[in-house]
Structure formats: structure tokens, C-alpha cells
Amino acid sequence: MKNPYWSEESKLVNRISKFQLIQLLLTLSVSISSSNASAGLLSSVKKFLSKSVNTKNSTYSQPNPSYQFHLKHYFNGKWLEYAVAAKPKTERFNNHANQTVQVTPNYLANSGEDAYMASSHNGKYVFGCADGVGSWKERGIQTADKIALELLNGVQIALKSTEPSNQNCSNQTSLDLLQNSHVRLLNGTTEDLNISGSATACVAMLEKDKAKKYRLSVCHVGDSGYMIIRGGQIKRSIPQYLAEYSGAPLQVGKISNDHKDTHLREIYNNGELLDLGSCYSYELIKGDLLIIASDGLWDNLTESEIRLIFDKESKKSTGELASAFLKAASENNRKPDDSAISVIRLK
């Protein structure tokens, strides 16, 4: 049975079906046979094209070129609207290109060494980002993009393994999902059995309880994090760092047994770093905005800068908001990095 809260997979169009093409050819033939062929032809083409852009199943009726290029996913559900904009640090922000946007019920993708996901199961909605730690390359581990992807893949698997009887937030949290994913990494049940590395992460679970209240469970590790905007109020995550390792951000992952730093290997593989992550529960209301992002956003935009963008763009779609945040972070470029920015609005 298809989930009624998710739109069917579709694409931002500007495309013409075979039937519409036949209509166009017939229209052109009539125009050409008229006494004023040139004027009739031009007029007919303009009228046809103005009607042939099918917006019935599109995310936006008229895609805005200044926002579309880095907008990756979007959906407009029954009680929430969601979008993600993402860009590897090697790619410049492009203001002048349209892009196809996929609307899918479940997805998982990379943006450089960042990964991002959305998933739905048994009335729960889970959104996440993970930022693979690239500095492991210096020690021969070059799997930053894979570890981020596998960590979120494990979150999706953990969510969908939940039995229908366990529907309440009290029975499953975002921390449970991250812990189950970490165990999967350690047990070597990923596609790449020998994968090593680490990532920062933020995972958020949203659902409506029996009283129709919005419940948010969110857990973050390191400098991937979240922000909740409600009117003039902001609640946000605070990055966590490893003081004994030159202030590197807190991470979760798996380090191979031949790694020479036995202390670091033990705290990663025993899950101690994940235990230090910050997990919170919130009761949200209609109109609240939730942002989930890697440090590609937080290192390049201050809280006040994010707030200014929100105040200016608050009436726009989550897709336009996500793209506006990404554009501003790219233009500031204080710390060039991959970016994955998810924006969720309750309605």
C-alpha cells in the first residue's frame, strides 16, 4: 500500500508528451495554410507552449532558475513540507541553470563526503545528514563518502525493521537508530565488509502522537547539527569536540584493528563517542521550521545570518529556503566544505 503522506515520484517538467506533440503539429499545419502564415505560426506556437507546461504533478509550477540547480529533493506531505539542497565543495554555486528535482518517498544520496537521507515508516519520518571525516586519508583510509552513506543507510534499515507495535517515540528514538546503525558497521554487515572511517551525524525523527501533537526526537554527533526556528525563537545544537585529539569534532564510526592508536580504536569501536552525542526531544507546533545540516552550513553562516535569510524568505517553499541557505553559505565561503542542508516545515 502506498503511503498517502508522500507524493508519487515525479520531476519538475517542461516536457511535451507524444499526444501534445501531435496537437502541436496539427496546430502548425492549420497556421501555415492560413493567409498570414508567419504571424499565425508564431502566435500558435506561443499559445501552445504556454499551455503545454504540465504543472499538475510538478513540485513548483514555474521553477526559479536562481534556486533550482542545487535543489536535490522535495516533497509536500500531509503535515510537513521538506527539501534538501546540497553541493560538493568542488562545485560552484550556479545561479543560472534549471535542474530536475526528484520527489521520492525514501532516498539516500552523497554530496561529496556528506550524505543525506529521508525515510518514512509506520507514520514516522526520519531525516538525517552525515559528514565523512576526510582527514583519515592521511592514514590510508579513503572512505569518507562511503562511511557517511553507510551510516545513514543503517539508519534507514533500523527504522524499517521496527515492528508496527512499537509506534511511539518513547519506544524508539533517533539515538536508537544511530546506535543500531553503528552496530551494523561494527559487525561488518554493510556492503563493504572492510569499511573503516568515521563521520559526524545528525538524525531527526518526527511523528504525530495520538493527541495529534508533533514529536521530535533528534540526536547529533560532532558538528553536524540542527536548528529549530519558531517565530522569534531559535533552538539549536551545540557542536561537540574531542579535546584530547586537537579539538576534532566528535565522531562515530569503525576503525580497523590494525590502526596503531589503540585508545582511539577502542573508543570508536566500543561506541563511547556515540554515547557522548547530544539527544533531545521537543514538542513542535504548526509553522515550526527544522534545519538539519553538516558543518558546511554552520561554519559559513552565523545564527544571526541564518535568521536574516529566514526572515526574508519565510513565506517561500522549503526548497527555496534550503537553496537560499546554501547560496549564502557558498558565497561567504569562510570554510570551503561539502554541504547538505535539509529544511522541514510543519503545517
Number of H helices, E strands in the chain: 10, 15
| Average pLDDT rounded to a whole number, residues 200-227 | 93
| Average pLDDT rounded to a whole number, residues 334-345 | 95
CATH pick for 65-346 out of 3.40.50.620, 2.40.50.140, 3.60.40.10, 2.40.110.10: 3.60.40.10
* Per-residue cell: 218: 533528534
Q: What is the pLDDT of residue 270?
A: 61
Q: What is the pLDDT of residue 50?
A: 42
Read off the amino acid at residue 245: Y
**Domain spans of the chain, in order of start:** 18-52, 65-346
Q: Which of 53-57, 134-138, 289-293 has the lowest mean pLDDT?
A: 53-57
- Helix, strand, or coil (residue 114): strand
Q: What is the pTM of this model?
A: 0.75
pLDDT tens-place string over residues 51-91: 433 333 333 333 343 444 588 888 888 899 999 999 998 88
- What distances in angstroms separate CA 330 from CA 66, 83, 129, 189, 193, one per listed residue? 14, 18, 18, 37, 35
- What distances in angstroms separate CA 253 from CA 8, 66, 183, one per listed residue? 34, 37, 10
Q: What is the pLDDT of residue 236?
A: 95
Confidence of residue 188 (pLDDT cuts 50, 70, 90): confident
